[in-house]
Amino acid sequence: MAKTRLFVIRHGRTMFNTIGRAQGWSDTPLTAEGERGIQALGIGLRESGLEVTRAYSSDSGRAIQTMGIILDELGLKDQIPYRFDKRIREWCFGSFDGAYDGELFMGVLPRVFKVDDFHQLSLMELAEGIVEVDTTGWAESWGTLSGRILEGFEAIAKEVEAAGGGNAIVVSHGMTITT
């Protein structure tokens, strides 16, 4: 059996990334710059000679679009198993999905925790702070969020291993990968 390795990639730059909005479970497409960046990544992976046996992404459009570009550049579209996994979606920001980053990360959360800079907060504190200020009740607690993400990545690794191992590409999201 081949060694199992996951190559975890953040989706390309999106419209919301460009204008400084908290994307979360909201979705916007990749920008032209984002597409070019992912295309360059795909070319680099191809030129490295990396052999890929499986592909996974979150079920968000931006992750699916990113994976499509990568698989095209690798010449693997419709050639290897590829599936979506909602467990590796980005964090849900609830009522702050689509809000300006500055409003949430530089305004609301520092006021909730009485700190000057949100970078002083742990991921757990950020998640619990978002739950506290979310008016929809959709934001996930740290336990739910971190459990969902860990379960998703572990399941992907086990699936690759059960299929004989090898290299798998996984496209997810910034805060999800950080978690």
Residues labelled catalytic: 11, 90
Measuring CA to CA, which residue among 4, 26, 39 is closest to residue 139? Answer: 26
Sheet with 82-84, strands from edge to edge, namely 4-10, 166-172, 54-57, 82-84
Judge residue 143's burial from the number of C-beta atoms within 10 Å of its C-beta, 0-12 exposed, 13-18 middle, 19 or more buried: exposed
